[in-house]
Amino acid sequence: MTAEMRAARLHTAGEPLLIDRIAVPEPGPRDVLIAVKSCGVIPNMNAIFSGALWNRLPPLPASVGLDATGVVAKVGSAVTNVTVGARVYVNPWLNCGTCVYCRAGTPLHCSAAAFQGYFGFTDQSAPLLRAYPYGGFAEYMVAACERLVMLPDTVSFDAAARFGYLGTSFAALAASNAPRNACMNACSRLGAIASCRSSGGPLTASAKAVSHSGDRVTSGM
């Protein structure tokens, strides 16, 4: 009998997410299966999932959720650098790896780039979104082993689920040549806000939402 999991999926653009029971995915040779413990909730998620913007949504119904953390539950046959039980953050950035930009070491310029569990940037993003169709608003997800960030025991799953936003903020401040203490102070304040929200406020972590929800997920953001 195929094992099942609960996943919050977008069936129709602009409509609330629905909690579905779907098969637990199998990791490919270079992938890992992750038991999701926490996931970020993006402030502009409703705008993206409205389908009214330029962003390319994943094929519907889509398992969604960006910036997931969890524990590695299974590894693919060719994975040698990750073991079952590892605590990880999933970098959601998807890029083709073969275009001129990816081969030059600048994958942020990849024209096929996408965020796993969220959206693609161009029509060329579709193959990557199909290859990795599982987001963090689910009990399990699959990700490529090279996109994992190992988490020390001193970093909680909820805190690590804000890595994406904190990293973006820190990079912007660093690029502006702001003093290091200014960067750290600003990111610390952002981290405090994210921590408050993910520990029981309106931005409750998705894995907890999936575990305790009915059949619909809505957001007031």
Residue 213 pLDDT > 50, yes or no?
no
pLDDT tens-place string over residues 156-198: 999 999 888 777 777 777 777 777 665 555 554 444 333 333 3
Structure pTM? 0.80
Sorted by where each begins, the domain ranges of the chain are 4-161+202-216
User: How much is the pLDDT for 216?
Assistant: 44
- 3-state SS, the chain, equals CCCEEEEEEECCCCCCEEEEEEECCCCCCCEEEEEEEEEECCCCHHHHHCCCCCCECCCCCEECCEEEEEEEEEECCCCCCCCCCCEEEECCEECCCCCHHHHCCCHHHCCCCEECCCEECCHHHHHHHHHCCCCCCECEEEEEHHHEEECCCCCCHHHHCCHHHHHHHHHHHHHCCCCHHHHHHHHHHHHHHHHHHHCCCCCCCHHHHHHHCCCEECCCC
pLDDT of residue 180: 62
pLDDT tens-digit map of 128-164:
999 999 999 999 999 999 999 999 999 999 999 988 8
At residue 149, the pLDDT reads 94
pLDDT digits (tens, 9 = 90+) for 44-97: 888 999 999 999 999 999 999 999 999 999 999 999 999 999 999 999 999 999
Q: What is the pLDDT of residue 164?
A: 82
Q: What is the pLDDT of residue 1?
A: 61
pLDDT tens digits, one per residue of 10-39: 999 999 999 999 999 999 999 999 999 999
What is the per-residue pLDDT for 42? 81
CATH (residue range 4-161+202-216): 3.90.180.10
pLDDT over 80 at 112, yes or no: yes
